[in-house]
Amino acid sequence: MAQRTTVTVTVNGQEYTREVEPRLLLSDFLRHELGLTGTHVGCEHGVCGACTVLLDGQAVRSCLMFAVQAQGHRITTVEGLAPGPDPEQLHPLQRAFWEAHGLQCGFCTPGILMSMVPFLEENPDPSEEAIREALSGNLCRCTGYQKIVEAVKLAATMGTRER
């Protein structure tokens, strides 16, 4: 019988305890155990970036971590960015993506947002080159990146740290 372990994780400020198999990926834990399907899964080998979440405030691939390893840690997913569903409640970065048309199908968007939140906190006034480099770990098959870069620039001017 496969081993099962109890894991307690704080996700978007709320504590969850579940009994899981050690092989359960953090990405699948978020999606299937907690129903937080905003975290997308594209490749499961670290390349596409769709599954990016914050682990104790740092962007990481949730497909390259086991849920049991998140024991006692703090996870933030895209669902944690806005306090509610109203447009006014959106995180400035989300508003910028909306206004600058930074997405088409939206599959890559949660991973891009979760990568850009810490990036903009550390680089409040980034150059276009720095933005493009920071986006290199996130694949988008729709936009050609132009609008994503514009959205990140717009977010920087709006000040992502206003909240």
Partner 1 sequence: MKPPPFDYYPAESVEQALEILARFGYDAKPLAGGQSLVPAMNFRLAQPAVLVDLNPIADLAYIRPTESGLRIGAMTRQRAVERSSLVAERAPLLHETMPHIAHPQIRNRGTFGGSLAHADPAAELPAVAVALDARLRLQSPRGERWIPAADFFVGLFTTALEPDELLVEVEIPALPRRTGWSFQEVARRHGDFALVGVAATVTLGPGGTMERARLVFLSVGEGPVEARQAQEALAGQSPDPEVLRAAAETAGERDIEPVGDIHASADFRRHLAKVLARRALAQAVARAQGSNRADPRP
Ligand X SMILES: Cc1cc2nc3c(=O)[nH]c(=O)nc-3n(C[C@H](O)[C@H](O)[C@H](O)COP(=O)(O)OP(=O)(O)OC[C@H]3O[C@@H](n4cnc5c(N)ncnc54)[C@H](O)[C@@H]3O)c2cc1C
Give residues in contact with ligand FES (CB under 6 A).
Answer: 41-44, 46-51, 61, 63, 103-108, 140-143
Short-list 51, 77, 12, 30, CA closest to 20 = 30
Q: What is the DSSP string of 106-148?
A: -SSHHHHHHHHHHHHHH-SS--HHHHHHHGGGS--SSS-SHHH
To ligand FES, the closest distance from the beta carbon of 151 in angstroms equals: 11
- Work out whether 43 is an interface residue with ligand X (CB under 6 A): no
Closest CA to 113 of 133, 89, 95, 86: 95
Calculate the alpha carbon distances from 44 to 5, 19, 141 in Å.
22, 22, 17
**Residue 30: CB minimum distance to ligand X, A:** 19
Query: What minimum distance in Å lies between the beta carbon of 161 and ligand FES?
Result: 25
Q: Which is nearer to ligand X, 63 or 151 (CB)?
A: 63
For the bound state, the minimum distance from the C-beta of residue 112 to ligand FES, rounded and expressed in Å, comes to 7
Is residue 46 within the footprint of ligand X (CB under 6 A)?
Answer: yes
List alpha helices for the chain, DSSP H: 26-28, 92-99, 109-122, 128-134, 146-158
Q: Which listed option, ligand FES, partner 1, ligand X, none, makes contact with residue 26 (CB within 5 to 8 Å by class)?
A: none
Dist CA 117 CA 82 (whole Å): 12
Residue pointed to by tokens 């990405």? 27
Instruction: Name the residues that contact partner 1, by CB under 8 A.
Output: 2-3, 5, 21-23, 25, 28, 44-46, 49, 52, 55, 58-61, 63-66, 68-69, 71, 115, 119, 133-134, 136-137
State the nearest-atom distance from the C-beta of 143 to ligand FES, in Å: 5
